[in-house]
């Protein structure tokens, strides 16, 4: 493994050096970095020009300047990066500009990428298992529509309906009768399509989905939940029970009672800890507390699996740990929602909290709960915009990959042995079906770290994409090369990780 990584890194260094040489010289000869000063009427114009020429070594040929830049970039290997200064950002060191922009971009793409992968793969698997059904045709239609939509148009629609209209609704959360009818119809049809089966089962599923969705929405409106949203102990128990069912269904199957008991026990523990944790969250509002509690959540799940498990303790511990962590996240969400009324009084918005520009609210002060809620309000729309497009791609890839695997001999052999359909799909077919997805994920993350330029432009998000565009427009070579170096290194790292994931997914593959 180590020799493989070292060889890949050495080969990558040579590629990056060759590519950076080409990009540097193309950028250096693309425009004039002195254009803004030459058109200036400042009395010290010549002095400013001479200062910039000296700072950027413009008296030297572009090849010589590249050697200087490469020497500074090589210092990154010893932790002393010197990528020059960006003249369009007030002579700010490029490393500082990259750190700020990369943090914003990573914050933007992390959630959207995770959500797109999880839901895209899940929906793709369901459509593959329900091939040529009404649900399959419907999902296929909508994924093709989403995949073909221009992201800037999606972003503008989200601003109108996801922010402006929703904020108006939050100011007066009243739903007309036809709103309940539409919600019930959507959820009823969705549940009916997913469950499938004979007509009686479909009608029963439709009725359950429609009545449950309308009932929940009606309760939220009547109790004023939209003005003071919260989860509470009851919400934690209900949400935890749903998480237990879903995770157990995928991991051990619902017939494994001990697995359900182990996972359910973790939900009960977090419900019991809800009240004491409120005091901890109030007096010690620190991020390290959340990290420690996440580790504790894993420990609770492992301990529960060991208590209820027999020969399958490892499997039960894994299932209970996943349920415990997800339930813990629900507890954190509940604590964040407690500051919602105060937050809506402090933000400079007339109605609602969904922001349309920027990454944070300027001048907003508060503890970590305010910061987390403010980040969510600003991240929501750009995250949805990126997720919708990526979701469509992952759904199609997951569907085609699983369909191909399900027709292979070893899957038929597993069924012939009498294994349950869940075991055949999750333990045999799913892992191999994820191999192509691993490649796509690695490429997507490597590309997204460069910044979703259009999305960042629409939502005024100062990330890597905007940094690159600014540097290219003003021929700021140091800024462009800093962007190139960071995105190139990230792309290389994730491609190596993809190769390692191959070996984890398929035992026949050996990284050597």
Contact (Cβ atoms closer than 8 angstroms) between residue 457 and residue 158: no
pLDDT of amino acid 506: 67
Q: Cα(299)–Cα(496) distance, rounded to whole angstroms? A: 31
Mean per-residue pLDDT, 474-488: 87
C-alpha 430: how far from chain center: 22
Question: Can you tell me the distance from the alpha carbon of 495 to that of 441, in angstroms, rounded to the nearest whole number?
Answer: 9
> What is the C-alpha radius of gyration for the chain, rounded to an integer number of angstroms?
27
Could you tell me whether strands 92-93 and 85-86 are parallel, antiparallel, or unpaired per DSSP bridges? Answer: antiparallel
Give, for 93, the enclosing helix (H) or strand (E). Answer: strand 92-93
What are the Cα distances from residue 349, in Å, to 169, 343, 431, 462? 13, 10, 47, 21
Torsion over CA of 463, 466, 472 and 473, rounded to 10 degrees? -150
**Do residues 55 and 66 touch, judged by C-beta distance below 8 A?**
no
| The predicted structure's pLDDT at residue 267 | 95
The predicted-structure confidence for 26-77, as pLDDT tens digits, reads as follows 888 877 788 777 777 777 878 888 888 888 888 888 888 899 888 888 888 7
pLDDT, one tens digit per residue, over 83-116 is: 888 888 888 888 888 888 888 788 788 888 888 8
In this prediction, residues 467-482 reach a mean pLDDT of: 86
Cβ distance 102 to 464 under 8 Å? yes
Q: How far is CA 86 from CA 28, 76, 451, 472, in A?
A: 14, 18, 19, 12
The C-alpha atoms of residue 450 and residue 101 are separated, in whole angstroms, by 10
> Which residues share a beta bridge with 92?
86
pLDDT at 21 over 60: yes
| 290: confidence class by pLDDT, cuts 50, 70, 90 | very high
Residue 478: which of 23, 79, 2, 17 has the closest Cα? 23
Q: How far is CA 143 from CA 173, 343, 398, in A?
A: 31, 36, 12
- For residue 30, give every residue at least 6 positions away whose Cβ sits within 8 Å of its Cβ, in sequence order, or none: 472, 475
Provide mean pLDDT across the span 221-248.
Answer: 90
- Condensed to tens digits (0 to 9), the pLDDT of residues 301-337 reads 999 999 998 887 888 999 999 999 999 999 999 999 9
DSSP 159: I
pLDDT in tens, 446-460: 666 665 677 888 888
Q: What gap in Å lies between CA 128 and CA 403, rounded to an integer?
A: 6
What does the chain come to in residues?
A: 512
By three-state DSSP, how is residue 89 classified?
helix
Report the mean per-residue pLDDT for the chain.
84
Task: Please state, in angstroms and rounded to a whole number, the distance separating the CA atoms of residues 72 and 377.
Answer: 39
Query: What is the Cα 107 distance to its own chain's centre?
Result: 8
Residue 405 has pLDDT above 60, yes or no: yes
Helix (H) or strand (E) holding 478: helix 477-505
Q: How confident is the model at residue 497 (pLDDT cuts 50, 70, 90)?
A: confident
For residue 262, pLDDT beyond 90: yes
pLDDT band at 502 (very low <50, low <70, confident <90, very high): confident
Name the band, by pLDDT with cuts 50, 70 and 90, for residue 261: very high
Cα separation, 350 vs 338, whole angstroms: 20
- Do 323 and 247 contact (CB within 8 A), yes or no? yes
| DSSP per residue, 182-216 | HHHHHHHHHHHHHH--SHHHHHHHHHHHHHHHHHH
Give the rounded percent of residues in the chain with a pLDDT score beyond 70: 96
DSSP state of 78: G
- The answer to whether the CB of 444 falls within 8 A of the CB of 490 is no
pLDDT-derived band at 512, boundaries 50, 70, 90: low
SS3 86: strand
At a CB cut-off of 8 Å and minimum separation 6, what does 236 contact? 267, 270, 271, 274, 327, 330, 331, 334
Q: Give the C-alpha distances (Å, rounded to integers) separating 202 from 175, 210, 212.
A: 28, 12, 15
Can you tell me the mean pLDDT for 285-310? 92
The values of phi and psi at residue 86, to 5°, are -100, 115
Mean pLDDT in residue range 174-179: 86
**Under DSSP, is residue 85 helix (H, G, I), strand (E, B) or coil?**
strand
* Helices assigned H by DSSP within 158-285: 165-171, 177-195, 199-222, 232-251, 257-283
Confidence of residue 9 (pLDDT cuts 50, 70, 90): confident
Structure tokens given for 484: 């190139």
Q: How far apart are the first and last CA of the chain?
A: 6
> Which among 380, 407, 453, 418 is positioned nearest to 101, based on CA atoms?
453
Q: Answer for the pair 261, 255: CB distance below 8 angstroms, yes or no.
A: no
Asked whether 498 and 438 are in contact (CB, 8 A), the reply is: yes
Q: What pLDDT score does 198 carry?
A: 81
- So what's the pLDDT on residue 509? 64
| Structure confidence at residue 77 (pLDDT) | 78
Structure tokens at 140: 């296929």
């Amino acid at each position: 493994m180590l020799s493989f990584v070292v060889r890949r890194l050495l080969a990558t260094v040579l590629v990056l050096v060759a590519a950076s040489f080409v990009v540097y010289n193309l950028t250096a000869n693309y425009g004039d970095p002195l254009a803004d000063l030459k058109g200036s009427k400042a009395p010290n114009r010549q002095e400013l020009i001479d200062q910039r020429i000296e700072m950027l070594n413009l008296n030297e040929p572009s090849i010589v300047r590249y050697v200087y830049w490469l020497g500074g970039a090589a210092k990154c290997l010893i932790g002393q990066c010197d990528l020059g200064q960006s003249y369009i950002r007030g002579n700010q060191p490029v490393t500082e500009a990259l750190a700020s922009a990369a943090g914003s971009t990573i914050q933007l793409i992390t959630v959207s990428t995770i959500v797109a992968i999880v839901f895209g793969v899940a929906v793709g698997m369901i459509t593959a298992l329900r091939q040529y059904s009404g649900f399959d045709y419907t999902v296929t239609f909508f994924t093709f529509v989403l995949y073909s939509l221009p992201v800037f148009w999606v972003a503008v629609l989200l601003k109108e309906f996801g922010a402006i209209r929703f904020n108006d609704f939050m100011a007066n959360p009243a739903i007309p009768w036809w709103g309940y009818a539409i919600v019930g119809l959507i959820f009823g049809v969705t549940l009916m399509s997913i469950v499938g089966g004979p007509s009686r089962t479909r009608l029963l599923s439709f009725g359950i989905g429609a009545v449950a969705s309308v009932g929940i929405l009606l309760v939220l409106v009547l109790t004023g939940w939209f003005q003071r949203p919260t989860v509470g102990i009851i919400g934690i128990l209900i949400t935890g029970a749903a998480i237990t069912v879903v995770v157990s269904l995928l991991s051990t199957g619902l017939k494994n009672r001990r697995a359900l008991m182990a996972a359910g026990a973790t939900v009960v523990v977090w419900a019991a800890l809800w009240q004491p944790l409120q005091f901890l969250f109030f007096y010690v509002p620190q991020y390290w507390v959340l990290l420690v509690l996440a580790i504790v959540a894993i420990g609770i799940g492992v301990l529960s699996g060991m208590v209820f498990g027999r020969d399958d303790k490892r499997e039960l511990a894994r299932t209970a740990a996943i349920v415990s962590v997800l339930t813990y996240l629900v507890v954190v969400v509940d604590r964040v929602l407690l500051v919602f009324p105060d937050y809506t009084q402090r933000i400079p918005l007339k109605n609602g909290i969904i922001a349309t520009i920027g990454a944070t609210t300027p001048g907003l002060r508060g503890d970590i709960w305010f910061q987390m809620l403010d980040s969510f309000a600003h991240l929501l729309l750009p995250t949805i915009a990126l997720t919708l497009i990526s979701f469509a791609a992952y759904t199609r890839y997951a569907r085609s990959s699983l369909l191909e695997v399900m027709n292979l001999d070893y899957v038929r052999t597993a069924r012939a042995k009498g294994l349950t359909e869940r075991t055949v799909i999750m333990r045999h077919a799913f892992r191999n079906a994820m191999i192509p997805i691993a490649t796509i994920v690695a490429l997507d993350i490597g590309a997204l770290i460069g910044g979703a330029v259009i999305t960042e432009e629409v939502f005024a998000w100062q990330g890597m994409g905007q940094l690159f565009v600014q540097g290219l427009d003003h021929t700021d070579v140091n800024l462009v090369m800093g962007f190139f170096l960071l995105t190139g290194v990230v792309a290389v790292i994730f491609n190596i990780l993809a190769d390692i994931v191959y070996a984890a997914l398929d035992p026949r593959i050996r990284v050597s």
